[in-house]
């Protein structure tokens, strides 16, 4: 599968917040759906890595460096689901859109290896895309000024997480894991600093 095909699969994740935005699912129902989808990805990775069950789709969806390691789609679902379980829609939806839309756009703007940081120009462009995706939701949650600030906070951390990969014991942390979490912290943190309810809504509270 080409990189463009992988990016198309990446973008398909937009369907999850659309279920909520189009009124096809409540926020609680969407959370349950995402939990179920995440459990499926864990099962698939266990079968692939633990049992050795190989399927042509695995070869198509995983890159060469993921063949013997946890694949990015598990981090992709896990991070989005964690954000959805911690925050309300005003924080979660922008964070998901940054991963599903801004990340593939960033990849198209500049290729880099699994251990390489992206060029500053690409990170800057990613920030702009992330901001545009976030602002409609953060502004609707508060005021134009506060919403724009929250969108900028989320976009900044999201773009950095997308472009600068931390290396832990020689292993690059997948941006599918870090981007939504960083973006959510940026949005919620900015709201909190400006005295606005952040939408922090963990399921256990």
Annotated domain spans of the chain:
3-193
Per-residue pLDDT band at 55 (split at 50, 70, 90): low
Q: Give the mean pLDDT of 182-194.
A: 96
* Alpha-carbon dihedral 32, 34, 40, 42, rounded to 10 degrees: -110
How sure is the predictor about 4, in pLDDT bands with cuts at 50, 70 and 90? Answer: low
Question: Average pLDDT, stretch 46-65?
Answer: 67
Q: What is the overall mean pLDDT for the chain? A: 86
Residues whose CB is less than 8 angstroms from the CB of residue 51 and which lie 6 or more positions away in sequence, other chains included? none
65 has a pLDDT exceeding 80: no
The pLDDT value given to residue 157? 98
pLDDT-derived band at 10, boundaries 50, 70, 90: confident
Closest CA to 102 of 124, 83, 74, 81: 124
Between 63 and 165, whose confidence is greater? Answer: 165
**pLDDT exceeds cutoff 60 at 137:** yes
90-94: average pLDDT = 96
- Asked if 174 and 78 touch (Cβ cutoff 8 Å), the reply is no
What pLDDT is attached to residue 57?
58
Q: Is the pLDDT of residue 66 over 80?
A: no
* pLDDT tier for residue 50 given thresholds of 50, 70 and 90: confident
Sign of CA dihedral 193, 197, 202, 205: positive
- Global pTM? 0.89
- At residue 113 the predicted structure's pLDDT band, cuts being 50, 70 and 90, is low
Is 111 a residue whose pLDDT tops 80? Answer: no
pLDDT of residue 7: 74
Q: Which of the pair, 98 or 63, is modelled with greater confidence? A: 98
**Which of 58 and 38 is assigned the larger pLDDT?**
38
């Amino acid at each position: 599968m080409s990189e463009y095909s992988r990016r198309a699969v990446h973008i398909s994740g937009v369907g999850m917040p659309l279920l909520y935005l189009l009124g096809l699912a409540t926020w609680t129902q969407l959370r349950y759906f995402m939990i179920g989808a995440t459990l499926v990805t864990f099962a698939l990775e266990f079968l692939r890595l633990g049992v050795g069950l190989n399927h042509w789709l695995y070869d198509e969806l995983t890159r060469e460096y993921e063949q013997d390691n946890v694949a990015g789609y598990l981090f992709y679902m896990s991070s989005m689901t964690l954000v959805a379980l911690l925050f309300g829609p005003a924080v979660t939806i922008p964070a998901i859109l940054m991963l599903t839309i801004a990340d593939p756009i960033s990849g198209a703007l500049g290729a880099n290896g699994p251990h390489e940081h992206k060029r500053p120009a690409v990170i800057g462009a990613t920030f702009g895309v992330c901001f545009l995706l976030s602002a409609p939701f953060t502004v609707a949650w508060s005021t134009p000024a506060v919403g724009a600030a929250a969108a900028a906070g989320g976009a900044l951390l999201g773009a950095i997480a997308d472009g600068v990969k931390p290396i832990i014991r020689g292993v690059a942390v997948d941006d599918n894991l870090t981007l939504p979490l960083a973006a959510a912290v940026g949005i919620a943190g900015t709201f909190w600093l400006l005295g606005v309810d952040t939408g922090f809504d963990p399921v256990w509270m």
